[in-house]
Amino acid sequence: MIKVGITGGIGSGKSTACKVFSLLGIPVFEADIVAKQLMNTDPEIRSKLIDLFGTSVYLPVHTIDRKYLAGIVFNNASLLTQLSKIVHPEVHKSFENWCRNQQSPYILHESAILFETGFYKLMDKSIAVIANENQRIERVMKRDKITHELVKQRIKNQLNDEEKIKLADFVIGNNDHELIIPQIVEIDKKIRANG
């Protein structure tokens, strides 16, 4: 089975692209969602996060306070790295277990920080979803109800599109003047042909 990583900066539309791949019958492992689930349910991760960030990192209902955590790590590269070292090895274990149960010609591993973590090196292929920065900012402001400045701060912590394009095997442009479905259908054909 071919393992394909898919990534894109915040607001690029990678989740939308993944939905289209799903409609084509391709299973998608959503690393960011699995990471959040593990932070909420794994006692060892929970303990390490409280040691690193304090008890305020969890809400009274014992779920991760994502806004609080984002406010800390997106302003501190060192803490972001430490967070990754706690969570990402467990996400990787979940991914490997998940792969064992898949029966398709290829699978997608969706991650916002596929390139930043070096995880793309464990994939057979990689896809970058890119979009104009102004469009990305507008999308995230509307989706997350946050300020322009906060979105810019988050973008600053991710590789820029030029770097992602250099590392990716395939690129999906997701701007107003580009249709993503034909691009995805073409990539799907190419991956299946090489499988």
Within the chain, all domains assigned CATH 3.40.50.300 are found at: 1-27+104-190, 35-101
Residues 21 and 182: beta-carbon distance below 8 Å: no
pLDDT digits (tens, 9 = 90+) for 83-99: 989 998 999 999 999 99
Tell me the backbone φ, ψ of residue 157, rounded to 5 degrees. -85, 0
The yes or no reply on domain 1-27+104-190 and CATH 3.30.420.40 is no
In this prediction, residues 42-65 reach a mean pLDDT of 92
pLDDT digits (tens, 9 = 90+) for 71-80: 888 778 889 8
In this prediction, residues 110-134 reach a mean pLDDT of 91
pLDDT at 91: 93
In this prediction, residues 47-63 reach a mean pLDDT of 92
The answer, yes or no, to whether residue 147 has pLDDT greater than 90, is no
The answer, yes or no, to whether residue 7 has pLDDT greater than 90, is yes
**Paired tokens of 158:** 């991710």
Tracing tokens 């090895």 back to the chain, one arrives at: 89
Q: Give the integer Cα–Cα distance in Å for 167 and 170.
A: 9
Angle, CA 137 vertex, CA 30 and CA 115 arms, to 5° = 40
Q: Give the integer Cα–Cα distance in Å for 180 and 97.
A: 30
- Share of residues in the chain with pLDDT > 70 (%): 99
Any idea which fold 35-101 has?
Rossmann fold (3.40.50)
Helix axes 148-156, 133-144, angle to 10 degrees: 120
